[in-house]
Amino acid sequence: MAASASGALLAAPELGSGWILARARGENFVVASRLLPRRERAALLAVYGFARLADEVGDAASGDRRTLLDALEQELDRAYAGTARQPLLACLAPVLREHALPREPFLRLIAANRWEQEHRGIRTFDELLDYCALSANPVGELVLRIFGQADPRNVALSNGVCSALQVIEHCQDVAEDRRRGRTYLPAEDLAGLGCPEEDLAHTPPSAALRRVVEYEIDRARELLAAGTELVARLNGYARLAVAGYVAGGIATCDALERAGFDPGSPRARRRRRDVARHAARLFVARAPS
């Protein structure tokens, strides 16, 4: 069974490395990558490529996704041993060695997708943050480790930033997630703001859904505030990279606000000049006293 699952993981066209890396290049976590040295850029892309691969196994792969996630974990073990066959894991293997990256954050990324096989909704915002601790926060920790700046305070601040970015993404993708049979906006908030779940798939969104998106974006902004201190604590290229990540999140919140919290509106797309403006402000800011 394990050999069969491993073969399916290697053969699945929807898990092709080129397509997954193309998606990785467009996400918040690599928004500053073009300004980074090649070594760090390649390491970040390998880590984020793994995160995207785990998501695609959990969301889109054909066959038994639980078994495929088990096969992904086995392939991760092979990457640590230097024997990985899956192309993305083979690219990750030298990054694991060079930066001494621990296995646990990668296991949490797989665990997030195992969680998704058992759940189709989120009850409370605290539960959403618990999910973010699996699905997003590990990437931020790995980014800090690549730059050699993963002290406990930096990791704690990064967790707030990464959770915010995940919440923002769920606000952007609310209709797409609903079509996949999943709801990441907390049921408690939907009920409290008078938004029935059937509204999640409507285009344009109902007024009730816009209220929920606005509410969650306000929460995301509060979490993103940790980014000011985090960027100020970092040195060198880490400071530049993380400023870009945080700025991308702030600019996306701004865009959603301009669009009246309609995730499907063209105005809800963040503007590069806004990302650059926020990144410059963060880069020169001092840590809060």
CATH architecture for segment(s) 119-289:
Orthogonal Bundle (1.10)
Query: What is the tens place of the pLDDT at every residue in 183-219?
Result: 999 999 999 999 999 999 888 999 999 999 999 999 9
- Around Cβ 98, how many Cβ atoms within 10 Å? 12
Note the pTM of the prediction, 2 decimals: 0.90
Give the class (CATH, top level) of 1-107.
mainly alpha
Query: What is the tens place of the pLDDT at every residue in 158-180?
Result: 999 999 999 999 999 999 899 88
Calpha distance 175→165 (Å, rounded): 18
Q: Give me the residue spans of the domains in the chain.
A: 1-107, 119-289
Calpha distance 281→261 (Å, rounded): 25
Calpha distance 94→199 (Å, rounded): 46
- The number of residues in the chain equals 289
The answer to which of 53-57, 111-115, 123-127 has the lowest mean pLDDT is 53-57
Question: And the tokens for 228?
Answer: 């000011």
CB burial of residue 175 (10 Å; 0-12, 13-18, 19+): middle
Residues 6+ apart with CB under 8 A from 14: 56, 60, 61, 62
Query: What is the tens place of the pLDDT at every residue in 59-93?
Result: 877 788 899 999 999 999 999 999 999 999 999 99
- What band does 285 get if pLDDT is binned at 50, 70 and 90? confident
